[in-house]
Chains A and B, each alone.
Chain A
């Protein structure tokens, strides 16, 4: 079942009605479980395809169960290592020998996100941060929740349980429903309209790129290919997130946000605090912080402390990159992410040392500096995403077709145009929000939002019903 489809909406509507029909917690547990299993079953008709998936879930639960009983520290590390290895093995990462992989076709849909949830449960159960025991139904509700199964967002277990099974449920008001509907419409628009347009434009540009093109046309085509994908990916993934957040709102589950205007970020580090936020938070909690603490204990000198942060950042971002896929392209993608964050951090350290903290802060607030940083950040994002959506072969082919001068000019064009566009966008947005009515921004009033939402809904229906070309599926579904 595709998330951004009318069939998913119909399914969700049915679940919402049944889920909210009775107040009992047990009722909600079973409804969510059955709905999630049904949703999962639409991705494969073969029962054997779910065996590895089920095994992973069962082992995950047994691990969490073990953490709630007396155990040794060694057992904890063994469990964590075993779950990691099992995940890498099931996802067929190329670091493992190929002959060990299972030979039959099985589903790994949402396994990455289930892995994050299970690891969170194991580690927090170990640290005593869950504050409650994890029952089998609650565990399945949390790991298989159909609103977050495919591509997150990664919600923390205590938050999920507090909202899913509270002692007193907040009422589902018209305002809440309106907001939920608004998010769903926005998500559908992003995935099915913007995503479709942008991916089509990028596809056309790829098809257009050839050595027969004049130099300027090659530059434009190359820049279009590289610059459109990040925008497409944003609409595709944030659209998905909007849809599931909107649907979950009707179940009175408040899923965490995954995006916060990422292209307004002024540097690499800030960008990743605005893009795929829940993944960044997870890695911060379970990789960056522990790693930094370990390094600081090992090298206690204050002089090296900032550089230890750089190392911890590199490792964390390398893992973010490598998590996306099992091929060498994703290893390189991880290296680029690690290098990007390291250079960013080192630059901040060096600038602070060179200029002093206050002047550097002042420089960071300079609008022109901000604009250039935003442009640079976007350009670098376009660059490292090449290894995210393409392959070595395709990259070599495009590179050969473009030739070095055209490539350089294309990257310069992306930098200049994105700098100008993003610099213009911020004051336009701020200006639009300054127009107030009834003490709040007019654009955010429910009247304007109703008109806007209705218009988007009409466009979505027109595009989905009239165009025979389906929009691309959610990109992160593959991870």
Chain B
């Protein structure tokens, strides 16, 4: 009963001094000398620092092995009209750190679609999809992209073949999409579908809108990363591309509340959930509206219904999942503005964000470090899109009448 036990009796080294029966205390006394040597004042901090460095390197190497990402698309080629496009009949492979390897296969026009972009087969409904990386299904396996899922679902429901020619391309900002409207309409689609994300709008430069009819010059460099010029850039790149850092972010961002809290620190990146929008963001949206207006005119002239959907972000979906989101944040603010713009130009706006409401774990639907949607997220977009599309009476999708937007007059 609480008898003092001498650890030395059990074959352990005896304590140098102090009480018996307390190995932790004994450990303290068993350091090599109870006096700190002068060399230790330098040696111990250096050892500590070295341990930190070794552990960081080990963490980085481990993360690179288990949290490997490869985002370079070898099918990307320079394009004198829209900057970049995909090489026709090309296959490439990419991998998000949090996801599996995916194959990107491009058809004879360089679109991410299995079906040929040639003349529309008889009895087939063709939808042309334009937009940026989320439309493309970036980092998502072909069969899991929302465009493929939606096409398959519509084919099953309508009883005739529905194909989606996916013209989506990563980093194709609204002005690039604007350039692709003629290309999309040339496919003789039954419906024109455009997806836009808040990130696309954030990158719009209103000053460039005046030059919107000029071709977009291709960039000097097509590759995963540009070689840094200076040591400072090299250091910055090493940190931003660190797999350990990405893994750390992955762990932190899995919690929607934490993600929202950290994301809000970046005022510029979180503009689209903070109504009223800042004058800068409003100018960007005005520029997008100008482009959408002209695109709607062209679609109307070609007698093609024009549908706009928003690419939901992890931020918006996280806000939907938090029971008490921070005050002043509105996940639907960006949606509402797109809805207003669409109404003004006779475009049908479909809200796919609502499909993510009441989802307890939003991290399931995104590559949260990369920020793109994954296959599960695309499934929700596809389901909501199909449900909403079928509500409209369009000849292509039901054969009963035109889409309301088709007849809506521009305000």
Contact = CB atoms under 8 A, between A and B. Distances in A.
Given A273-B3, A277-B2, A454-B48, A175 B13 contact: no
B234 to A, nearest CB: 24
Given A183-B24, A433-B12, A451-B47, A260 B31 contact: no
B5 A273 contact: yes
A467 B251 contact: yes
Contacts of A316: 1
A441 B14 CA distance: 11
A31 B55 CA distance: 39
B207 interface: no
Contact of A468 (B7, B40, B254): B254
A316 B1 CA distance: 10
Given A175-B34, A257-B25, A438-B32, A466 B5 contact: no
A445 B44 CA distance: 11
Contacts of A429: 12
Nearest to B251: A466
Which has the most chain B C-beta neighbours within 10 Å: A281, A447, A454? A454
A351 interface: no
A355 interface: no
A451 B51 contact: yes
A401 to B, nearest CB: 27
A168 B7 CA distance: 31
A280 interface: yes
Interface string A256-277: 1101110010000110111001
A257 B11 contact: no
B248 interface: yes
A174 B252 CA distance: 35
Contacts of B12: 429-430, 433
Nearest to B21: A260
A281 B1 CA distance: 7
B53 to A, nearest CB: 10
A316 B35 CA distance: 43
B258 A468 contact: yes
A433 B4 CA distance: 22
Given A261-B23, A446-B44, A450-B47, A179 B5 contact: no
Contact of B30 (A259, A274, A441, A465): A441
A450 B44 contact: yes
A288 B23 contact: no
Contacts of A261: 7, 23
A412 to B, nearest CB: 27
B1 A313 contact: yes
B61 interface: no
Interface in A206-253: 242, 245
Contacts of B252: 465-466, 468
Given A272-B1, A446-B32, A455-B55, A433 B48 contact: no
A437 B47 CA distance: 17
B328 to A, nearest CB: 23
A260 B7 contact: yes
A82 interface: no
A429 B27 CA distance: 13
A458 B52 contact: yes
Nearest to A312: B1
B371 interface: no
B10 interface: yes
A440 B55 contact: no
Interface string A449-479: 1110111001000100111100000000000
Contact of A437 (B1, B25, B32): B32
Nearest to B31: A446
A273 B36 contact: no
Interface string B41-60: 10110011011100100000
Contact of A447 (B4, B43, B251): B43
A326 interface: no
Contacts of B19: 257
B2 A273 contact: yes
Contacts of A466: 248, 251-252
A445 B52 contact: no
A288 B22 contact: no
B409 interface: no
A301 interface: no
B398 interface: no
Nearest to B256: A468
Contacts of A445: 31-32
A448 to B, nearest CB: 9
Given A458-B55, A466-B248, A281 B43 contact: no
Contacts of B36: 173-175
A260 B40 contact: no
A449 B248 contact: no
B255 interface: yes
Contacts of A465: 252
A55 B32 CA distance: 50
B32 A260 contact: no
Interface string A405-429: 0000000000000000000001001
Contact of B22 (A260, A453, A455): A260
Contacts of B3: 270, 273
B124 interface: no
A78 interface: no
Contacts of B47: 447, 450-451, 454
Contacts of A274: 5
A441 B55 CA distance: 24
Contacts of B13: 433, 440-441, 444
B327 to A, nearest CB: 22
Contacts of A281: 2
A444 B55 contact: no
B51 A454 contact: yes
Nearest to A261: B23
A175 B16 CA distance: 15
Contacts of A257: 19, 21-22, 24-25
A446 B24 contact: no
B325 to A, nearest CB: 17
Interface in A267-319: 269-270, 272-274, 277, 280-281, 283-284, 288, 313, 316
A447 B44 contact: yes
A450 B48 contact: yes
A430 B10 CA distance: 9
A462 B248 contact: yes
A426 B11 CA distance: 9
Contacts of B24: 183, 242, 245, 257, 259
B2 A272 contact: yes
Contact of A446 (B21, B40, B248, B258): B40
30 contacts: A175-B35, A179-B28, A256-B22, A257-B21, A257-B22, A257-B24, A260-B7, A260-B21, A261-B7, A269-B1, A273-B3, A273-B21, A277-B21, A281-B2, A430-B11, A430-B12, A433-B12, A438-B32, A444-B13, A444-B32, A445-B32, A447-B43, A450-B48, A450-B51, A451-B51, A454-B52, A454-B55, A458-B51, A458-B52, A465-B252
Q: Which 10 A-B pairs have the closest CB atoms?
A: A468-B255, A280-B2, A257-B22, A466-B251, A454-B51, A281-B2, A284-B2, A454-B48, A446-B31, A444-B30
Given A277-B2, A316-B1, 4 more contacts: A174-B36, A277-B21, A438-B32, A440-B32
Interface of A: 173-175, 178-179, 183, 242, 245, 256-257, 259-261, 264, 269-270, 272-274, 277, 280-281, 283-284, 288, 313, 316, 426, 429-430, 433, 437-441, 444-447, 449-451, 453-455, 458, 462, 465-468
Interface of B: 1-5, 7, 10-13, 19, 21-25, 27-28, 30-36, 40-41, 43-44, 47-48, 50-52, 55, 248, 251-252, 254-255, 258
